[in-house]
């Protein structure tokens, strides 16, 4: 009897292990990138805010184009350190293929076939068009190479088990829109794309569940900062949120960093607002139009 139980237990463990193994195999995207345009990619770069994590801390001006990594994200799961994504062929990603870049951005899989941690916001980038990914890739290749490899992440068990991220992806990785907006205008749709895709606003402005995934039932509702200290404000068209802000106010904030009562941007949003100040005015207006159009069901 006991022997039977032990056998059964061993079989179950084997099956469980096998299931875990197969379920968590890093899945890549079997498609190629269209031809990229570096000039258009510059807009994607500022929309995505790559420099806010991959350039030196609080980098300003052109220093934000030096993507040597090393930025530390202090989270409840441990400390993530952003890698070097400059075009340096040794220390950065200069030797990557188009497919490598596409899979990193939209599948969260590295060129050597490992899962990236979702601290790298591919759960948002999965919504990007392949054209935008290609344009961004073309732009990144024009940037200066930077020497040096950033230190490793500092994570405890079980978060240091890469394969576990495969389960996380099965549960949470999707390229579907975060919310449905009825009768959305082209401007609202453009804003939705920017906010939910490359802009990855929801990564901080949406509360996370126990597994660290954004909680779509509370999309852009604000909550405790996922890294560092403080609270991240909600962006709903209600109080507390952006109810008192017109679309023009929101666009002006993204451009200048000033709220309607002339308080200023602060904390980690300073670097983000520096990025949005470099967007086209119509893209800032589109982001504002989307935020004002957020459905009340998400609020």
* Residues near other proteins, by CB under 8 A: 58, 229-231, 233, 256-258, 261-268, 270-271, 273-274
Identify whether the C-beta of residue 130 lies closer than 8 Å to the C-beta of residue 98. Answer: no
Shortest Å distance, C-beta 227 to other proteins: 13
- Say whether the peptide bond before residue 8 is cis (omega within 30 degrees of 0): no
- Please provide residue 79's backbone torsions phi and psi, each rounded to the nearest 5 degrees: -105, 125
Pairing outcome for strands 78-81 and 154-155: antiparallel
Shortest Å distance, C-beta 275 to other proteins: 13
Shortest Å distance, C-beta 60 to other proteins: 9
Beta-carbon contacts of residue 169 (< 8 Å; ≥ 6 apart): 27, 108, 115
Shortest Å distance, C-beta 271 to other proteins: 7
Judged by beta carbon, residue 41 or residue 70, the one nearer other proteins is 70
Judged by beta carbon, residue 128 or residue 272, the one nearer other proteins is 272
Q: Which residues pair with 115 in a beta bridge?
A: 109
Structure tokens at 263: 């308080």
Judged by beta carbon, residue 229 or residue 296, the one nearer other proteins is 229
- What angle, rounded to 10 degrees, do the helices at 281-293 and 247-256 form? 130
Shortest Å distance, C-beta 201 to other proteins: 17
Shortest Å distance, C-beta 261 to other proteins: 6
Shortest Å distance, C-beta 228 to other proteins: 8
């Amino acid at each position: 009897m006991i022997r039977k139980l032990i056998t059964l237990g061993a079989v179950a463990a084997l099956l469980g292990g096998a299931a875990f193994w197969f379920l968590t195999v890093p899945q890549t995207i079997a498609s190629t990138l269209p031809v990229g345009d570096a000039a258009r990619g510059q807009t994607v770069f500022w929309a995505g805010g790559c420099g806010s994590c991959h350039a030196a801390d609080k980098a300003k001006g052109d220093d934000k184009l030096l993507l040597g990594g090393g930025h530390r994200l202090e989270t409840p799961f441990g400390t993530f350190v952003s890698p070097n994504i400059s075009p340096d062929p040794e220390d950065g990603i200069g030797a990557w293929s188009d497919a490598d870049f596409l899979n990193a951005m939209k599948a969260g899989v590295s060129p050597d076939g490992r899962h990236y941690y979702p601290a790298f916001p591919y759960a948002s980038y999965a919504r990007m068009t392949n054209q935008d990914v290609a344009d961004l890739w073309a732009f990144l290749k024009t940037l200066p190479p930077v020497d040096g490899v950033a230190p490793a992440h500092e994570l405890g068990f079980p978060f240091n088990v890469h394969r576990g991220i495969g389960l996380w992806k099965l549960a949470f990785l999707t390229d579907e829109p975060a919310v449905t907006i009825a009768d959305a205008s082209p401007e609202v749709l453009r804003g939705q794309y920017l906010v939910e895709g490359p802009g990855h606003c929801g990564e901080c402005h949406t509360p996370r569940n126990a597994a660290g995934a954004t909680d779509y039932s509370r999309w852009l509702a604000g909550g405790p900062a996922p890294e560092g200290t403080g609270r991240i404000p909600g962006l709903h068209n209600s109080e507390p949120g952006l109810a008192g802000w017109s679309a023009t106010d929101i666009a002006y904030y993204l451009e200048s960093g000033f709220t309607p009562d002339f308080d200023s941007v602060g904390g980690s949003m300073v670097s983000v607002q520096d990025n949005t100040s470099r967007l086209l005015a119509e893209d800032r207006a589109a982001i504002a139009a989307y935020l004002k159009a957020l459905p009340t069901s998400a609020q």
